[in-house]
Each structure stands twice: as structure tokens, then as C-alpha cells.
């Protein structure tokens, strides 16, 4: 246990060191006024997104009893792109730009949360519903949303598509501070609810039947956790855009490092790894590639390869 705590605190140290390095390296008296506030804003967004995605991925794998699935399988990324596409298709790119204010942000967030929550409530209304059926429905819905979005993207005006294309990739350089504070508040409440359920989630690692026999209110805990997962994933996606494979990368590396069933450490390690990956990605994007490649492309490339590795390893075991 002491060894695991040492690794966990080392993760905190590495993450804090990278934060300070990103904020202060390259600052001079000439560029301080511009770069320092900008980097603080980016770092705040990274913490919100990384903590939300990491915690959501860790708890999702617990309730599905599967170390490969992540919330992205629910189709939330595809739903986000579908909502952005349908706005451009029906109202033009000008309306999409106007949706970058508080009402537009909240509307998109509520639509994503509402669609996910409605799916969860329908699936768990009756006792004994199979969690994998929920995952399958989410995957099918994601495929449908992606197909509809692709169809509309083909027939819209190329100039309209160029505006929409900026929303297809995650970006930490166009953060609205008002939206950041709203997303941070929503994510903080959802994280707190999930943290209060950690004692139940620790028991859920034993399996559904054992958890019920030990007194865990299974249906209520799973439904509440899934709603929190939907809120966290939706808030992160609407704030910066989709990063599909960040969750699998964060929770898999976090689990490998701390090797524990206790969610106080597992979820924390996953969040720290997600934040670390995002900071390293920003270093590569800004200072090595000079903004020529989006951050989400780098993370999805590495995360996609790691996901294939996990699939192949699971097949051979």
C-alpha cells in the first residue's frame, strides 16, 4: 500500500511540475501580459477536462466490469458533432458562432446530458437490465449520429463546412472564461457526487451479485453514476471538443500505475494521467509542431494504437 501511495504522490508531483513548466517556460517581460493569462486559462481548462474524463472513465469501467470500455462508446462525441452539424445545416455557420455564448453552451450541454440520461433511465427502469445492452444501444446511437453528421457535412456549403471543421477537433485555445467557470462548476458537483459513491464502487468491483449481497443499492448507484458520467463527459466535450481516446489512455495507464481497486486512488490517478497527457500534448502541439496538428489528433492517434493493443491482449488471454 505504501508503494501505491508513493506512485500516486509521484503522479501529483509530475503533474504539478508539468503545469508550472507549461505556464512559465518561455515567459519574458515582453510577452508576460499576453501569454501568462492565456496559459492560466488553458491550464484551468485542461484540469477541468482531464479530471472529468479521467474520473468518468474509471467509474464507467467499474460499473461495466470491463477494462476496455470508456464513456466514448456511448456515442457522446458523435452526438456533439451531430448537434454542431445540424445547426450549420439548418441555420448556417453564423448561428454556430453565436452558440459560443452561455445560452448556446447550456443548450448543447443540456441536449447531450438529456439524451444520455433518457437512455440510462429507460435501460434501468426495470430490475435486472443488462449493462452491456446499454453499451450496445449507445454504440448504435453513436454510429447513427456519426452517419447523419457525415451526410449533412457532404451537402453543406464548403465555406460553412470550414467553420464547422473547427469544432470537430478539440482545442484549448478558444476557451470562453464564462463557459469555463460554468463547466468547472458542473463538473465539480458531478465529481463530488461520484466521490461520495466511491465506497459503493469499491464493492462493485466484486461484481453485481456480490455487491447486492453486501448491501449495495445497485440500481440506484449505477444509475446515479451513469448520469454523473454523462454530465462529466458532456461538459468536457462541449467545452473543448471531442477527444475520443483520452479516457482509455488515462484510465488504463492509471490502473497500471496504482494497481488498486480503491477508487479514491484509481480515479485520482486516472485524472492525473489525463491532465499529464493533455499538458504533454500541448507542449508537442505548440512548441514542437507549431500548431500545425490539432491536440486531439495526437492523443487519438496514440490512444487508438493503445486501444488496439488492449483489444489484441484481451483476445490472446
Cα(153)–Cα(145) distance, integer angstroms: 12
pTM: 0.88
| 20 located within any domain | no
Instruction: Give the rounded percent of residues in the chain with a pLDDT score beyond 70.
Output: 88
Is the pLDDT score of 315 beyond 90?
A: no
| 191 located within any domain | yes
Q: Please name the residues in contact with 11: beta carbons below 8 A apart, sequence gap of 6 or more.
A: 257, 269, 272, 273, 276
| 165 located within any domain | yes
Is the pLDDT score of 279 beyond 90?
A: yes
Instruction: Give the rounded percent of residues in the chain with a pLDDT score beyond 90.
Output: 24
Cα(147)–Cα(151) distance, integer angstroms: 6
Q: How many CB atoms sit inside 10 A of residue 98's CB?
A: 12
Nearest alpha-carbon partner for 238 in 79, 58, 74, 86: 79
pLDDT in tens, 138-184: 678 778 888 888 888 888 877 777 777 767 777 787 787 888 898 89
Going by pLDDT thresholds of 50, 70 and 90, the confidence category of residue 59 is: very high
Cα(285)–Cα(275) distance, integer angstroms: 15
Look at residue 241 in the predicted model and tell me its pLDDT.
81
Average pLDDT over residues 56-65: 87
| 38 located within any domain | no
Is the pLDDT score of 213 beyond 80?
A: yes
| 159 located within any domain | yes
Is the pLDDT score of 97 beyond 90?
A: no
The tally of domains found in the chain comes to 1
Return the half-sphere exposure (C-beta side, CA atoms, 13 A cut-off) of residue 264: 7
Look at residue 184 in the predicted model and tell me its pLDDT.
92
- Between 76 and 266, the higher pLDDT residue: 266
| 19 located within any domain | no
Cα(73)–Cα(50) distance, integer angstroms: 18
Counting every residue written for the chain, the total comes to: 317
Cα(288)–Cα(278) distance, integer angstroms: 15
Is the pLDDT score of 29 beyond 90?
A: no
Cα(105)–Cα(132) distance, integer angstroms: 31
Average pLDDT over residues 221-226: 86
Going by pLDDT thresholds of 50, 70 and 90, the confidence category of residue 96 is: low
User: Could you tell me the residue range of the domain that residue 284 belongs to?
Assistant: 2-8+48-316
DSSP notation for 126-189: STT--HHHHHHHHHHHHHHHHHHHHHHHHHS-HHHHHHHHTTSS--SSS--HHHHHHHHHHHHH
| 269 located within any domain | yes
Return the half-sphere exposure (C-beta side, CA atoms, 13 A cut-off) of residue 211: 21
Q: How many angstroms from the chain centroid is the CA of residue 315?
A: 26
Look at residue 251 in the predicted model and tell me its pLDDT.
92
Q: How many CB atoms sit inside 10 A of residue 202's CB?
A: 18
228, three cell numbers: 454523473
Residue 282's SS3 state is: helix
249 burial type by CB count under 10 A (0-12 exposed, 13-18 middle, 19+ buried):
buried
Cα(43)–Cα(278) distance, integer angstroms: 9
| 21 located within any domain | no
Residue 81 belongs to domain with CATH number: 1.10.3470.10
Going by pLDDT thresholds of 50, 70 and 90, the confidence category of residue 275 is: very high
Amino acid at each position: 500500500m505504501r508503494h501505491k501511495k508513493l506512485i500516486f504522490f509521484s503522479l501529483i508531483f509530475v503533474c504539478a511540475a508539468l503545469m508550472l513548466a507549461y505556464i512559465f517556460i518561455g515567459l519574458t517581460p515582453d510577452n508576460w501580459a499576453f501569454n501568462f493569462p492565456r496559459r492560466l486559462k488553458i491550464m484551468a481548462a485542461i484540469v477541468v477536462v482531464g479530471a472529468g474524463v479521467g474520473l468518468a472513465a474509471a467509474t464507467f469501467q467499474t460499473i461495466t466490469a470491463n477494462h476496455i470500455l470508456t464513456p466514448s462508446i456511448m456515442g457522446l462525441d458523435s452526438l456533439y458533432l451531430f448537434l454542431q452539424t445540424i445547426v450549420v445545416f439548418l441555420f448556417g455557420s453564423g448561428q454556430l458562432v453565436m452558440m459560443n455564448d452561455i445560452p448556446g453552451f447550456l443548450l448543447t450541454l443540456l441536449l447531450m446530458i438529456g439524451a444520455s440520461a433518457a437512455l440510462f433511465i429507460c435501460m434501468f427502469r426495470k430490475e435486472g437490465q443488462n449493462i452491456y445492452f446499454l453499451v450496445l444501444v449507445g454504440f448504435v446511437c453513436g454510429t447513427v449520429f456519426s452517419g447523419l453528421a457525415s451526410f449533412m457535412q457532404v451537402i453543406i456549403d464548403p465555406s460553412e463546412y470550414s467553420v464547422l471543421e473547427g469544432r470537430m477537433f478539440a482545442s484549448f485555445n478558444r476557451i470562453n472564461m464564462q463557459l469555463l467557470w460554468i463547466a468547472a462548476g458542473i463538473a465539480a458537483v458531478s465529481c463530488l457526487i461520484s466521490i461520495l459513491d466511491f465506497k459503493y464502487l469499491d464493492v462493485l468491483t466484486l461484481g453485481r451479485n456480490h455487491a447486492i449481497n453486501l448491501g449495495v443499492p445497485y440500481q440506484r448507484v449505477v444509475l446515479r453514476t451513469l448520469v454523473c458520467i454523462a454530465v462529466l463527459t458532456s461538459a468536457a466535450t462541449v467545452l473543448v471538443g471531442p477527444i475520443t481516446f483520452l479516457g482509455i489512455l488515462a484510465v488504463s495507464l492509471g490502473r497500471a500505475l496504482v494497481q488498486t481497486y480503491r477508487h479514491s486512488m484509481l480515479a485520482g490517478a486516472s485524472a492525473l494521467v489525463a491532465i499529464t497527457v493533455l499538458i504533454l500534448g500541448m507542449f508537442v502541439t505548440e512548441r514542437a509542431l507549431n500548431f500545425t496538428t490539432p491536440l486531439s489528433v495526437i492523443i487519438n492517434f496514440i490512444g487508438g494504437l493503445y486501444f488496439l493493443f488492449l483489444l489484441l491482449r484481451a483476445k490472446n488471454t
